[in-house]
Amino acid sequence: MTAVTIGLVTTAAVTLGFILWSAQGVDERSLEHEINLARHVISAQLDRIPHDQESVTIWDDSINHLKPALDTHWVDVNLGVWMSDFFGHDEVIVLDASNRPIYAMAEGEMTGLEAARDALPTLNPLISELRRKISGGGLDAYEAGTAPNPPRASDLVVVHGVLSLVSMTPIISDSGDIVQARGTEYIHVSMVHLAAAYAGRLGEEYLIPDASFTEAASGVPDRAMLPLSNRAGRFITFLEWTRTSPGQAMLNQTIPAIAGAFLIAGIIAFLLVDQLWRKSRALEAGRADAEHQARHDRLTGLPNRANFEAELAHVLAERPTRERRISLLMLDLDRFKAVNDTLGHRAGDDLIRAVSQRLRQLVAPGDHLARLGGDEFALIHFHAPGPDDPLALSKRIIEALGKPFDVHGSEAFVGASIGIATAEGGEADSREVARKADIALYEAKATGRNRAVFFEESMSELLQNRHMIEGELREALRRDDQLSVAFQPLYGADHTSMIGAEALARWHNPRLGQVSPAHFISIAESSGLIERLGQFVLRQACELGAKWPGRTIAVNMSPVQLRNPRFPQEVFAVLRETGMRPGDLELEITEGILLEDASIASEALHIFRSSGIRIALDDFGTGYSSLNYLKRYPVDRIKIDRSFVSQLAPGHVSVAIVEAMVRLAHALKIEVTAEGVETEEQVKVLTDLGCNIFQGFLLSPPITAAALEAMLGHPVRHVDDAKVA
Ligand code: C2E
Ligand code: MG
Ligand code: MG
């Protein structure tokens, strides 16, 4: 805005300056011209007077009325009054051959000769000059026709105090008939007073306005001045007049127009600038909005991940002080996916909004809350030294988020797990602090959810261990000498006839020894290696299953595999390639997948079942609302988790639980497998409860494929320990 104003004012100033400058230039040139004109007018006047005189001085009659006797009347009429009346001359004097005045006229009337005599001293220089010119041959030249006019003498002279143009010329014959001896010519003196009247005439005739003759300059600014000097170079008077100043006149006329133009230009510029300013304001607002959107989460309006990371780096760069500690809380909802899948994405969005609302109410004014994405939130918390404060806050958060949410008319329960890392000892690496909080969160989730866990170095070691195992597993999948598949036989209701086996992944690492699937499966899942590992197990299982039609071969499947939409195709490809009958294959899934990706899981499960592949729900009872899922999803079998089976003893509460599970399953025409059967007592209880299939160390541990095949040839209940896999 100011730049435009400055620009406009500068332009106006420059334009105005230029106009003034050119007006001044015009005026200067005009003055120069007027002065030249005035100078020319004065010299023309000096030339004109003799010219006027010559109308009577080159005339035979004049000589005849002067010589030998003076005809005063005639002279007065023709050489005096005539000059006044016709030419406006103020004074006339006629001098005889001896330069004595013989006639004088002033202001149109004949006067006495005293005044003329008095004037002689001032006129003498001119008289002498004229006589010199005559005696010098001036008249001869004129009479010979070589000079255009007879000799003359004229100058500016102050005669009895009156500034006058004085001109003298000899009175001579026009016909040449009257011959006068040289030097005897009479002289006609004519004077024009440079006074007000004459000045007025100059003004009228030569357009020199308000002309006046003054001895002292008036000093009025718009008056022009021409100093006049006599022929001897002596200053005589000033000719003064009013300058025309056309530049100034033009200015007077154009300034209002120019001012008007500038005013209009100013108004237009103002309007344009105003509009521009409004537009740029709108643009700025749009940019700020876009920036806000880029830095904030749309759903909750909370800062987003990028914003959070920048903020964390910023607060850590300022270094936490003793009084002002910084803890980072990473928060993850525990059952968000289930809500999202069962109630829909809209409900999920509403839930996230409601969660952010509750969180907002709990955080202190200076703290920074952000949504990192999905169901992940982060909180930068400023607090006093010691772990109590963030822990207390975490507890409040967990408690608040543990209360039911009303989502689209249904009550939704989600919990929250929190990982806490405190920026200790001036820790300034934001990524390091975030990593620690993430590890703590991972630990919180892994150790039972709905809790807050402080980061400890040992967790980091665990994590490093996982990384190491991941690398080893990757290597193992590339080679063929570390991974294998064991089979744990499944027995029928009589718990002596083997109806099939469950394929279980086995990994022998030369450095780590035997690694438990309980350990490496979760690493394979989180690193994406599970797809290849699953393929490997499935292929081995199907190759064996193809050789023993009629036997059930169960294969464990990770939720990660099921989430892959191409997974069913891959399973059928393996079945086709190995030749195994789909009806002999049983896929074991855990409740997790139903909880997380209900729709995907249900679709895949329908495809499998339609081809005869059976579905078993593994580790039944350990998840959430297991019984509900039974109604909703197509499963053929549940496998009651070992944790229930191991507690089975007459009178124990587990008996009732297992009984309820079996009843419900049977009511839904679902078979029941008991996992981890280790004692005869358990077998007895389970048999009484109506379990269909038994699996456990009591009957057989997992064994090698070769051992299984040997057993399938001669089904017996126990195997040699040597063959245990
Ligand atoms: P799961 O599917 O429930 O497998 C049964 C687990 O219980 C096996 O452990 C088996 O060795 C163990 N077990 C069987 N009978 C008894 C018993 O009487 N007492 C006790 N204490 N344990 C018994 P394993 O082989 O260590 O596998 C652990 C888990 O790893 C499996 O649990 C399964 O969830 C997973 N897993 C194993 N192989 C695979 C695989 O190829 N793919 C996938 N996705 N998961 C697998
Ligand atoms: Mg299993
Ligand atoms: Mg199990």
| CA 480 to each of CA 100, 477, 557, 584: distance values in angstroms, whole numbers, following the listed order | 158, 7, 21, 26
The more confidently predicted of residues 600 and 526 is: 526
Ligand 3 center–CA 412 separation, angstroms: 28
- Position 244 scores a pLDDT of 81
Ligand 1, atom 23: closest residue by C-alpha: 676
Ligand 2 center–CA 287 separation, angstroms: 56
> Mean pLDDT over residues 331-338, rounded?
84
pLDDT value at 686 more than 90: yes
- Position 273 scores a pLDDT of 84
Lowest-pLDDT range of 223-232, 401-410, 473-482, 687-696: 223-232
| Tokens of residue 545, six digits | 């299953």
pLDDT-based confidence at residue 721 (cuts at 50, 70, 90): very low
Percentage of the residues of the chain whose pLDDT score is greater than 70: 94
Look at the chain and count its residues: 725
Ligand 1, atom 11: closest residue by C-alpha: 702
383-393 burial, b at 16+ Cβ within 10 Å, e below that, comes to beeeeebbbeb
Ligand 3 center–CA 676 separation, angstroms: 8
pLDDT value at 22 more than 60: yes
Task: Render pLDDT for 38-83 as a digit per residue (tens, 0 to 9).
Answer: 888 888 888 889 899 999 999 999 999 998 889 999 999 999 999 9
Average pLDDT in the chain: 87
The more confidently predicted of residues 23 and 118 is: 118
Is 618 close to ligand 1, i.e. is its CB under 6 Å away?
yes
Ligand 1, atom 33: closest residue by C-alpha: 556
- Position 702 scores a pLDDT of 97
- Position 189 scores a pLDDT of 95
pLDDT value at 222 more than 60: yes
Residues in contact with 512: Cβ distance below 8 Å, sequence separation at least 6, in sequence order = 469, 472
Lowest-pLDDT range of 4-8, 29-33, 53-57: 4-8
DSSP string, 586-638: EEEE-HHHHHH-HHHHHHHHHHHHHTT-EEEEEEETSSSSHHHHHHHS--SEE
pLDDT value at 398 more than 90: yes
CB-based burial of residue 51 (10 Å sphere; 0-12 exposed, 13-18 middle, 19+ buried)?
middle
Is 517 close to ligand 1, i.e. is its CB under 6 Å away?
yes
Look at residue 402 and give its three-state secondary structure. helix
> Mean pLDDT over residues 267-275, rounded?
87
How many angstroms separate the CA atoms of 547 and 630, rounded?
32
pLDDT-based confidence at residue 461 (cuts at 50, 70, 90): confident
- The H helix count followed by the E strand count for the chain is 25, 25
pLDDT value at 27 more than 90: no
Assess contact for 469 and 519: CB atoms under 8 A: yes
Identify which of 485, 504, 520, 644 to mutate to test ligand 1's pocket (most ligand atoms within 8 A of the CB).
504
The more confidently predicted of residues 720 and 322 is: 322
pLDDT value at 477 more than 60: yes
Region for residue 698 given its phi and psi (left: phi exceeds 0; alpha: psi -120 to 50; beta: otherwise): alpha
Ligand 1, atom 32: closest residue by C-alpha: 518
How many angstroms separate the CA atoms of 393 and 381, rounded?
9
How many angstroms separate the CA atoms of 273 and 469, rounded?
67
pLDDT-based confidence at residue 428 (cuts at 50, 70, 90): low
Assess contact for 405 and 411: CB atoms under 8 A: yes
CB atoms inside a 10 Å sphere around CB 252: 11
The more confidently predicted of residues 531 and 18 is: 531
pLDDT value at 198 more than 80: no
- Position 199 scores a pLDDT of 78
pLDDT value at 544 more than 90: yes
- Position 594 scores a pLDDT of 64
What domains are there in the chain, each with its CATH number? 305-455 (3.30.70.270), 464-712 (3.20.20.450)
Identify which of 514, 521, 622, 700 to mutate to test ligand 1's pocket (most ligand atoms within 8 A of the CB).
521
pLDDT value at 124 more than 90: yes
Lowest-pLDDT range of 14-28, 191-205, 524-538, 593-607: 593-607
Lowest-pLDDT range of 76-90, 152-166, 318-332, 577-591: 318-332
Assess contact for 63 and 171: CB atoms under 8 A: yes
Lowest-pLDDT range of 12-26, 301-315, 634-648: 12-26
Identify which of 537, 556, 558 to mutate to test ligand 1's pocket (most ligand atoms within 8 A of the CB).
556
Q: Name residue 639's beta-bridge partners.
A: 673
Ligand 1, atom 7: closest residue by C-alpha: 676
pLDDT-based confidence at residue 320 (cuts at 50, 70, 90): low
Is 557 close to ligand 1, i.e. is its CB under 6 Å away?
yes
Task: Render pLDDT for 345-364 as a digit per residue (tens, 0 to 9).
Answer: 888 999 999 999 999 999 88
Task: Render pLDDT for 499-524 as a digit per residue (tens, 0 to 9).
Answer: 999 999 999 999 999 999 998 998 89
Q: Which atom of ligand 1 is nearest to the CA of 485?
A: 41
Look at residue 237 and give its three-state secondary structure. strand
CB-based burial of residue 262 (10 Å sphere; 0-12 exposed, 13-18 middle, 19+ buried)?
middle
- Position 674 scores a pLDDT of 95
pLDDT value at 719 more than 50: no
> Mean pLDDT over residues 273-290, rounded?
89
